[in-house]
Amino acid sequence: MATGARKDHQTASMFRVEIDSMEGATFAKCGGLKSESEVFEYQEGGDNESVRKLVGPTKASNIVLTKGFVSDPMLFKWRDEIASGGTKKIERRNGAVIALAQDGKTELSRWTFTKAWPVRWEMTEFDGTSNQAACEILELAVEKITKSR
């Protein structure tokens, strides 16, 4: 006999991306929300039965935003500044990926990223015989990802 209230898993089928003050880009998929620490193995002298595992550097994966449409010219301008910058200092921005509930407004979770810059922008091929929507891919190199909610 069940006595407690049923608690289903939250579905995060919608999300929003914030990059500093830029708006005007929507994406259907987001990947790469991952950070990983390297393992440094060290065998202490005189202890032949075990290996110590120490924490090495931690790095964040690139965030890949897919199936998108970018209407804000600021994102293109930012990417162009990186691509044609030469030795010019890269302008890095902070942002967040926000998982939304089914209503599209209620925030379920938030992952913040810091010091991002667009490493890749890609447009799918145009095909006049297909009824598929044009799709853009934006890949951001980030230095740190933290879950803040």
Cβ contacts of 119 within 8 Å, gap of 6 or more: 62, 82, 139, 140, 141
pLDDT of residue 143 exceeding 60, the answer is yes
Instruction: Give the pLDDT score at 138.
Output: 87
In the chain, beta strands by DSSP E: 14-19, 25-31, 35-42, 52-60, 63-70, 93-100, 107-123, 136-141, 144-147
Domains and CATH numbers, the chain: 14-37+51-147 (2.30.110)
User: 91-125 pLDDT, tens per residue?
Assistant: 899 999 988 888 878 888 999 999 999 999 888 77
Tens-place pLDDT, residues 44-78: 888 888 999 999 999 999 999 887 777 777 888 88
